[in-house]
Amino acid sequence: MHVNAYAASSATSPLEPTTIERRDVGPKDVLIDIAYAGICHSDIHTIRGEWGDVPYPLTVGHEIVGTVAEVGSEVTSHKVGDRVGVGCMVNSCRECENCKAGEEQYCEKGNIGTYAGKDVDGTITQGGYSEKIVVDEHFVLRVPESIPYEKAAPLLCAGITTYSPLNHWNAGPGKKVAVVGLGGLGHMAVKIAHAMGAEVTVLSQTLSKKDDGLKMGADHYYATKDDETFEKLQKSFDLIINTVSAPLELKQYLGLLALNGTMVNVGAPPEPLPIQVFTLFTNRRSFAGSSIGGIRETQEMLDFCAEKGIAPETELISADQINEAYERVLNSDVRYRFVIDAKTFAPA
Ligand SMILES: [Zn+2]
Ligand SMILES: [Zn+2]
């Protein structure tokens, strides 16, 4: 089946309307009429070839919500009309230790990304900037109706990417959590950490988004451009979630960790970050990374957000505004995630 989509034909060309092919609905597949697709910074890095060679033409997008339009004969977990979501992966081996443990994102054979991945049938996966997608039921999430439809999409990447480390490192009552950067990922980290009961501090370059941060649930807000911030907050946090993908002076940030504290990177700077190991000796500190979350945990995150009344802050755009939106994301000029109305993927 051919569906309307937006794709780029090279690393330097803009995204343009096109049609892409979706496979026939197999016994375990779900056909989804996409309603909204979020714009993740990874979409931009990928489609511009900044994270390595990609097969063009390529359709990106891995924050997808929509409605089930058709299910295969063996599908048991979703039915026509359900509100569902798809995140950053659409398949994995399902047999390795990590997959069996529900950590498909760490599949030993590599998970299959929602776009630019090589699927088991050899085709290159195409992402959510399109009208429809066909996905194995195991990788389709239930999106509770109480989460506003047009705001739900960013939970599928930004939501789980921050929920998973907060959950793994036990953010909760009595824990002091710092969130570095208040962008698409950071604003979700603040909302989720606050809802988990942690005391939340935002560390942002300036105080320009302070009012927003406090409204989202932050208890404190500091500017990292101010050197006094690092003096004042020394040895104070149990957990730091770093959402910034630009290189940071790690020593300064690790110095903010209390006893047994951990700094987790979810932003991905392309270049290596130098680390002074002595900084880790103090307070038995850890420096860690975390990548999205497993399917079970993603469902848990969606249910948690529904229960706590949490949703991303979004700005709705039409497909012809994607290229402009990319420039605004790169200029940090988005409050806090763009969501594309999938109806507009069809030619006008
Ligand atoms: Zn993403
Ligand atoms: Zn596996």
User: What string of H, E and C letters represents the secondary structure of 190-255?
Assistant: HHHHHHHCCEEEEEECCCCCHHHHHHHCCCEEEECCCHHHHHHCCCCEEEEEECCCCCCCHHHHHC
* Cα–ligand 2 centroid distance for 44 (angstroms): 27
- % of residues, the chain, pLDDT over 90: 93
pLDDT band at 230 (very low <50, low <70, confident <90, very high): very high
What average pLDDT score do residues 136-141 get?
98
pLDDT band at 189 (very low <50, low <70, confident <90, very high): very high
Residues of the chain with CATH 3.90.180.10: 2-157+313-345
* Cα–ligand 1 centroid distance for 39 (angstroms): 8
Closest-CA residue to 40 (of 141, 130, 128): 128
Task: Give dist(CA 7, CA 292) in Å, integer.
Answer: 24
Please determine, for residue 104, whether its predicted confidence score (pLDDT) is greater than 80.
yes
Please determine, for residue 17, whether its predicted confidence score (pLDDT) is greater than 80.
yes
pLDDT band at 271 (very low <50, low <70, confident <90, very high): confident
H or E element, residue 2: strand 2-7
* Cα–ligand 1 centroid distance for 88 (angstroms): 7
* Cα–ligand 1 centroid distance for 232 (angstroms): 33
pLDDT of residue 190: 98
| Phi, psi torsion values for 213, nearest 5 degrees | -60, -45
The answer to whether 62 and 157 are in contact (CB under 8 A) is yes
Please determine, for residue 270, whether its predicted confidence score (pLDDT) is greater than 90.
no
Which two structure tokens, joined as six digits, stand for 207? Answer: 């105080």
H or E element, residue 64: strand 64-71
pLDDT of residue 63: 98
How far, in Å, are 130, 271, 283 from residue 60 at the CA level?
Answer: 9, 23, 42
Superfamily of 2-157+313-345 according to CATH:
Medium-chain alcohol dehydrogenases, catalytic domain (3.90.180.10)
Superfamily of 159-289 according to CATH:
NAD(P)-binding Rossmann-like Domain (3.40.50.720)
* Cα–ligand 2 centroid distance for 187 (angstroms): 31
pLDDT of residue 245: 86
Task: Give dist(CA 5, CA 53) in Å, integer.
Answer: 21
Please determine, for residue 348, whether its predicted confidence score (pLDDT) is greater than 80.
no
Tokens 């208890």: give the residue.
Answer: 219
Pairing of strands 83-86, 64-71: antiparallel
- % of residues, the chain, pLDDT over 70: 100
Please determine, for residue 147, whether its predicted confidence score (pLDDT) is greater than 90.
yes
Task: Please report how the helices 158-168 and 184-196 are oriented relative to each other, as an axis angle in degrees rounded to 10.
Answer: 40
pLDDT of residue 268: 79
Query: Given 3-state DSSP classes, what are the helix, strand and coil percentages for the chain, each rounded to the nearest 5?
Result: 30, 25, 45
The answer to whether 301 and 105 are in contact (CB under 8 A) is no
* Cα–ligand 2 centroid distance for 112 (angstroms): 10
What residues flank ion ligand 1 with Cβ within 5 A? 40, 42, 157
pLDDT of residue 312: 98
Ligand nearest to the CA of 113: 1
pLDDT of residue 178: 98
pLDDT band at 160 (very low <50, low <70, confident <90, very high): very high
Residues of the chain with CATH 3.40.50.720: 159-289
pLDDT of residue 316: 98
Please determine, for residue 86, whether its predicted confidence score (pLDDT) is greater than 80.
yes
